[in-house]
């Protein structure tokens, strides 16, 4: 398992009794997932990336693909641009991508990795919502098999399952 941290607890719609703060955070995460990240959320991610950088060394930032290539771009392009401006390392939307959009029935995803980008790098992987850890394990294993030295992840949120 790869180490990870997250910014928000995410309460799915099935959990109805939550505080107004938790509801606000849920909406922020849902907006992000729909490809409309707020500047406040982007600022929180940048703050967390800086905190990680103070403790751990990473040489490349990449992003966990969404269910479609378009969603990945909508969710992460502005964040990638801002991180590129402030970090002294590579920041790439195309280091890990989907081979094709996820299957609409099974939701299966097949990732591919730009080996030239990740080889020899300490990776900070930024993702959307952590639920089971399956996607982190798959993407982490893929970049490690492609020659990365290490993988550490930051997620926008972690799902609260009850």
**9-27 burial, b if ≥16 CB within 10 A, otherwise e?**
ebbeeeeeeeeeebeebbe
Tens digit of each residue's pLDDT (9 = 90 or more) over 12-69 = 999 989 999 999 999 999 999 999 999 999 999 999 999 999 999 999 999 999 888 8
Interval 111-117 mean pLDDT: 95
Of all residues in the chain, the percent with pLDDT exceeding 70 is 97
Write the burial class of residue 79 (CB in 10 Å: 0-12 exposed, 13-18 middle, 19+ buried).
buried
Q: In whole angstroms, give the CA distance from residue 127 to residue 6.
A: 9
1 falls in which pLDDT band (50, 70, 90)?
confident
pLDDT score at 69: 84
Is the pLDDT score of 135 beyond 70? Answer: yes
CA 114, distance to chain mean position in Å, is 17
Q: What is the spatial distance between Cα 25 and Cα 12, in angstroms, rounded to a whole number?
A: 11
For 91-105, what is the mean pLDDT? Answer: 83
Instruction: Tell me the C-alpha distance between 137 and 131, whole Å.
Output: 12
């Amino acid at each position: 398992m790869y180490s990870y941290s997250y910014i928000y607890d995410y309460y799915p719609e099935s959990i109805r009794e939550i505080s107004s703060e938790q509801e606000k955070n849920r909406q922020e995460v849902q907006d992000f997932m729909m490809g409309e990240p707020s500047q406040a959320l982007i600022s929180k991610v940048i703050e967390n990336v800086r905190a990680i950088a103070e403790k751990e060394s990473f040489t490349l930032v990449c992003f966990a693909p969404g269910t479609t290539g378009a969603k990945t771009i909508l969710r992460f392009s502005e964040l990638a641009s801002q991180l590129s401006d402030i970090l002294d390392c590579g920041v790439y939307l195309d280091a890990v991508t989907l081979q094709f959009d996820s299957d609409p029935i099974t939701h299966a995803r097949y990732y591919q990795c730009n080996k030239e980008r990740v080889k020899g790098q300490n990776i900070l992987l930024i993702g959307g919502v952590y639920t089971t850890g399956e996607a982190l394990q798959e993407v982490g294993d893929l970049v490690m098999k492609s020659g990365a030295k290490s993988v550490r992840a930051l997620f926008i949120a972690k799902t609260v399952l009850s």
